[in-house]
Structure 1
């Protein structure tokens, strides 16, 4: 019996790049665990900032953390105060200098993780799962998605026996490697237990050579790193004698 693989992992190196970019030696396991800890911390701390991907790059003395979000203003804060606090907190986790880059997601309706998280939050707020899913599908199709599929599993409407339901519109060609399909999983914690929400979004097909960076098409909002602050008086015009 055929099983469906993760569409993102299935396309790595073909039309999609990795979310962790570094070389590990004997401490590979420690770095991998640290990446997981960083992502978990950022998603928990910035739960209201609509954070999607956290991309981590490492050099010998620097860890570069790139955050993709639909609400960059919450992460940056007034005058960059919040992003400075986050940088200091991540330095304590990694024991290295940290640089933070923030990229804005222009169309959050086409980001599978943000769509799944939005459906989960609505279910936790006691909104009908059918209504939440149909609204998400309609919003994605309005933003010119070629297809979207949503599967929800759990004790739907408080039923005694757990079951799964699937909603689909458009096409989702999982076997076509050039198909740009975004996939994500989120969980809703309700009084009846946990519900799992899986989302597949078909954005189009990729022909020819493609930039494998997961940041294609995003706007860079801010970059904060150690030593990036301007010295006092920098940028001010000099007075002529």
Structure 2
């Protein structure tokens, strides 16, 4: 049985290839299941990106199979569901185009309003090249952070701009878990 460090190394290698070849913002999650063979599930947001990513990952499959001496099965799964990582990268791509941050956040959240119960987005740093760093945030619905039974998706990402570092935090409240009585 392989230890968890090999799972971490495999996940890190896949993410490294994804970042190097600009696929990182399209990968939602990576599941690694080790038994007699190695099964890797990679969850994507766009179908076109899956086809491009397959070309880059072939070399990684060969390396992993030599090291672990196991057969490898990789499943590419398309996820239509919005998550905090997708929303963060949607906002980041538009911030790079130097638009008003508050307007971008509002526009992206209002586009996706029907897919979740609540959302909070916070962008902090030297927004729009201003000398003094500040925070802009937008809250829609409710985000019950102190209730454990709620399904809240959180993502944080930093980007380096020509003015400095911007941090983006995204919380999405998807649904309440029902309690059994």
Which TM class, normalised by the smaller chain length? 0.7 to 0.9
Give the corresponding residue for 2:58. 88
Matches within 5 A, 1:108-187: 110-141=82-113, 143-187=114-158
Report whether the alignment pairs 1:100 with 2:71.
Answer: no
Q: Is the CA contact (8 Å cut-off) linking 1:120 and 1:187 kept in structure 2?
A: no
| Superposition deviation, residue 159 in structure 1 | 1.9
Distance across 1 between alignment mates of 2:99 and 2:83: 21
Give the 3 Å change call, closer, same or farther, for CA 36–49 of structure 1 in structure 2. Answer: closer
Q: Distance in 2 between matches of 1:116 and 1:63?
A: 31
- TM score, norm. by length of structure 2: 0.82
User: Which has the bigger relative contact order, CA under 8 A and spacing at least 6?
Assistant: 1
Distance 1:58 1:139 in 2: 39
Task: Please give the TM-score of this superposition, normalised by the length of structure 1.
Answer: 0.64
Find 2:175's aligned residue among 201, 204, 223.
Answer: 204
| Residue aligning to 2:44 | 69
The answer to whether the 8 A contact 2:102-2:137 is kept is no
Q: 1:53 aligns with which of 29, 40, 54?
A: 29
Question: How many residues align structurally?
Answer: 176
- How far off is 1:29 after superposition? 3.7
Give structure 2 stretches of 5+ with no counterpart. none
The answer to whether structure 1 residue 191 and structure 2 residue 162 are counterparts is yes
- 1:106–1:179 CA distance, 2 compared to 1 (3 A): same
Gaps of 5+ in 1: 1-21, 210-241
